[in-house]
Structures are given as structure tokens and as C-alpha cells.
Chains A and B, each alone.
Chain A
Amino acid sequence: MSTTTTPARSEAGGSSLVWALRDTQAMATRNLRRLLRQPEQIVFNLVSPIMFVLLFRYVFGGAIQGLEDLDYVNYLIPGIAVQTVLFSAGVTGFALAEDMQKGFVDRLRSLPMARSAVFGGRVYADSINNAVGLAILVATGFAVGFRPNDPFGLLLAMLLLLLFALAVSLGYALIGLTVRSAEAVNAATFPLIFPLTFASSAFVPVETMPDWLQGFATHQPVSVVINAARSLILGDDVTAAQRELLLAGQDTTSLVLQALAWTVGIAVIFGLLCTRKYRALVK
């Protein structure tokens, strides 16, 4: 048939998984290029964690009670780290919404690429963005007196946070696919992300909050992840009293397992919902 001239594709040499990975790489490269060309985005990513560290370390830090002699800067950095990745995970949603709005997703959907690469390339690029944000945050922390007891624990904590950010990114992605504008993504997520971030153990010990808030603030996922990261970073240097009051009275292993359970749970649920939403675009 004359309509099927042989297209110059080289698909013979690779399984569909290999192609999915290559497509993901191509999309991630594109997403990172975009990020690097938005100076205002980069400045925000750099400046925002630094400002938060300085704000809490020097402005609010002196007034924070109930630390059981733990140095506040050591308490603070894991909290701000989670806040940083929670906020910058929003990029995933904003960027997908923009791609939907501008018809770019339609172009992608007309190509013979792996559909998973649209999300894969997104969270890949955004994870690198998050990792850079975390590195800046930790460096700032060191500059203002942050001294983790366990460097290996610090590394594990950063990995845990990146995984958690990835899971949350998928939540943002779902909203980005649904509402189709960056402003609307913000409006839809802010009322959720804000209380999760601040009604948590991120900045102040939960013990200092009113009773009715303590239950939520102790057990909600953001606090669980913060406590796990904090426990990993503080290592063996935590007194029993500190652990009881500041780390929900649980040991590192238990906290990390809970944090991983939340992370995997959130990733699976939102991953499936994203896939379903993307497939439903055809309807």
C-alpha cells in the first residue's frame, strides 16, 4: 500500500521498557531545560529555603519552647527540609497544568511515545530540582550552626525526603491534569498543603500546641516524615526525654517504616489516579 512509506524509525532495537526509559529521559531533559531558562523560578528555589532557615533560626527560634535542651537549629533543619520539598513539589503540578493548557500534552499524546514518560520525565526532573533545593538548605543550615550527629543518617533522611516529594508530586500532577492552570493548582492545593506543613512538627514541638491539635499534628503524614528524617539525622544522640516529646516516643526504625508506608501509599494512589485521569483524556 502506497500510504505506508517506511518511516525512518529505529524501533527494532529495543523492548518497550527501554523505549519508555528513553522517552522519560527525553522528557526529563526537556523539563530541566525549561527550569534552567526560568531565572525567577531558580531564584525562588534558591532564596526561599535560605529565607526560611534565617527566619526561624534568628527571628522565631528564640521563642520556641519545649525542646528538652535540643539545639533548635538541629531540630529545625529537618522540618524546613520537608517544607521545602513539599512546596517545590508544586512545580510538577504547575508545569503539567501549563502543558495541558498550551496544547503541548495533546502533541505528546499524538506521538508514539510511552505515555508513562509524561509523568516519569516530570518527576525525574522535579526530583533533581528538589535535590538541589535540599542541598542548598543543608548548606545554609551548616552556615548557621546545624550539626547532624549522623552524616550517614543525614544522607538517608535526604533520600527519604526526595521519595516523599516524589509521592506528593504525583498528587500535584493529578491536580495539574484536572484544573489546567498554575494558579488553579495553587488555589486547589494551598488549603491542604499549608495546614499539613505548619500544623506539624516541622517548626515547633507538637507538645506546645493545644490538645485538640496535638493528635493531628503528631500523626499526620508530614509530621511522620519529619520525625523520621529528624530521628535519622539526630542519630544516637537523642535522650529518652527528647525522643518521648519530640519524636512521638518512637524509635528510628519504626518512624522510617511509617514514613515509607505513607510515601508508598501516597505514590501508588496518586500514581494510579494520574494514569486513570490521563487515559480518560481520550473520552
Chain B
Amino acid sequence: MGRFKGIDYYQVEELFSEEEILVRDSVRAFVTDRIMPDIERHFDECTLPLELVPELGRLGLFGANLPEEYGCAGVSNVAYGLIMQELERGDSGIRSFVSVQGGLAMTGIFLFGSDEQKKRWLPAMAEGRKIGCFGLTEPDHGSDPGSMVTRAEKTSAGWLLNGAKMWITNGSLADVSIVWAKVDGRIRGFLVEKGTKGFTPVQQKGKYSLRASDTSELILEDCEIPAKNLLPLSDGLVSPLKCLTAARYGIAWGAIGAAMDCFDRSLAYAKERVQFNRPIGSFQLVQEKLVYMATEITKGQLLAHRLGRLKDEGKMTFTQVSMAKRNNVQIALECARLARDLLGANGITSEYHVIRHMLNLETVKTYEGTHDIHTLILGTDLTGLSSFH
């Protein structure tokens, strides 16, 4: 395998600014040098490469599209998307770490936090000195977060939280958890700091996917937090959904990165692997797989690019994000499955990476709005007829 150069069948690169290309190339080099050499071990051992967190912070990848006044890089949304693409070319778990830190936790504080909360948390999180997570999903409430049972009650000193959250990326690592809970039936956001009495993160075991990532349950048992830890501007289900839109935007780009890696490895393999005295790339059935992958990746790139420009212009809608997340994750998963198939027996080994992408993408298809839920969001939007109620 030579240096990863990406896939650019439609000269998509010409649509990016010089700054966006420099950002992509810097992250691409980092992923090649620092993530790829050790990612299979981390996946095997079910560990997040924590040693990379300060480096990711130094590069400026956490909350990269948030403003400079909070210590963030303030890059365009397209540049942010390219960062996600390159990170997920490495591993969906690493991209998830950065997505949750920036797209969910930092975005939540940025959108709904007080000035004091923003100043306290955002610069530290941008540098990677503090880690954040986002607790919305519950054991019995996934696609329907509005029916959550976690409650917050006002006390003389602050708020008393009770409930449980599940499938929380970075949950056991987080210095600050954004926990969504109902106050008199209305959803509000709260900052729960590591070590708070009554707050217990428990790492979830037995995952066959996203193994280089921390996934945890958060248990809140009479967990009392100060009054100032309420996110003052959070109000209703729309608040966490706004954060999810930001994170799903990143996923729409990230999935392309995983697909690109699968294609790149498949193409190299198809040229090198000889059967029946010919490279297997000369067989039409193999070429069909490669053509499908390249075409779907190209369509995904164009979808993501247009979405990014709309976001930069303030015109992006959450339903457009649903379309891109739904499509790009689905095609990435299909590319990974085809790559696994094309590589034959080698396709199931860690050495060739594609099965790791395939297993990861099963999670990516499900989290941040399942494929089917995004279908319903789009169906509702197109027809004007609710598909949920």
C-alpha cells in the first residue's frame, strides 16, 4: 500500500479551498502516521488510544468548527467534514471520540451554556485536557428519546438527578457529561462532573463493533449537582436534537472516509492478487464491485460537499442531514461488505482492515438516528404526513 491519496473521480478536490485541502492533508498525514500503525491492536484489546488525545487537541481537531474565542480552530464546516472523513478512514471509533467531544458535548455547551460554562469548558475541551460525553439515550428509550425517564428535581442547593443513560460514547472517560433529563416533563441539559456523588459510569462490554471506543452506561442515583450546572438555554427535545444534527453532519462525512479506505485497499488487492494467472481486478465480477464502490463514494462526496456549503451558508436543514447520514453510512457499509468479499479470506483478517470498518459501520448505521429513523424523518418531510405518530 502506498501513501493514501483519497479517491477523487470527479475532481471534487477543486470544490475545496486551499485552506480546506491543507486541513485535510494535515489530518490525513496524522491518521497515516499516528492512528493506522496501532489501530488494530486497540480494536483487538478494546481500548481507545488515549495517548493520541493531547495530539488531537494540539492539532485543533476538537470542536474545530466552533469559534476561535473559545480556543477552537474556527474552520469551515467543509473543513470540519474533511477532518471527520480522514479520522474515520482510520477508525470509526476514533472519529466517534472526536465527534462526541466536539459535535455533541462542546456543541451542547456552546449552544445552550452560559458564558461562564463556555469559558470554563470549551478551551479545555478544545485542547483535549477535558473530555466530554453526551447522555441522551436510555436503556429503554433509543429512537424515541422524548419518552426518557431520567428526571431532574429542584433542590435547595441545585438539582437532583435520577435515571440511567446507555450507549454513551466516552462515558467512562468524561470529565463532564451532558445529561438530558426531564424537569416537570420538559427536557433540559445538565453538566455532571466526573466524581459527583451518585453518578456512576459503567463501561459496556461485549461489543463486536466500535471496539476502539469507550461505550458506557451512566447511572444517576440521587445525583445532586449545583444549580449553575443547568445548561440555561436548553429547552425541550429540540435542544439535544440540534446537537445530534451537528454530530450527524460529521458522520455523513466520516462514513465516506471508511468507504474510501475500503475502496483503496480493494483496488490495491485487486491489482496484486493473482488467480487463474491473472490479477483478480481483470475479472468482470471484481470490476463491478470496484465500480459500484467508486460510484457510491463519489455520490457521497458530492452530497457531503453540498451539505457542508449549505451549512456554511446557514441554509442547511436537519432533514438534509438525515439524507446524507442515511445514504453515506449505508453506502459505506455496503462498500465495506463488498471489500470484505473482494478480499476473500484475507478480508476477514485484521491485517487488511476492511472487516474492522465493516463491523464499525454496523454501529454507525444505528447510532445518531438509525437508518430507518432517518428514512421516517425524510418520509415525513417529503409527504408532510407524520410517520411516527
Chains A and B belong together in one complex: no
